[in-house]
Amino acid sequence: MTLSEFWDALEHVYGSVLGRSLVSDLYIPSLQSTPAEALKAGKKPDEVWDALIMETDQSEAARWIHRAPKKRR
């Protein structure tokens, strides 16, 4: 997952306002930081995405949304 795929998936799954709020405000224990802090520290976007999906109890479909063709989203 690229960083741009991360942001696209975030907006698709959570919406732009909630998604950005989760990235900046939600502390995720498995990352020992917020997603924004983890990305800034150099964690791979797919690791951060997986942790966010697990922490917010999203479906497997949401986990792989960045791999779906854009017209199927």
Using a 10 angstrom Cβ sphere, with 0-12 exposed, 13-18 middle and 19 or more buried, the burial of residue 49 is: buried
Per-residue pLDDT for 24 more than 90? Answer: yes
Per-residue pLDDT for 36 more than 60? Answer: yes
Give the pLDDT of residue 67: 85
- Per the CB < 8 A criterion, the answer to whether 63 and 53 are in contact is yes
Q: Rounded to whole angstroms, what are the CA distances from 40 to 15, 35, 44? A: 21, 9, 10
Banded model confidence at residue 63, pLDDT cuts 50, 70, 90: very high
Distance of CA 8 to the CA centre of its chain: 9
Is the pTM higher than 0.85? The answer reads yes
Q: Read off the pLDDT of residues 8-23 as tens digits, 9 standing for 90 and up.
A: 999 999 999 999 999 9
Give the pLDDT of residue 72: 55
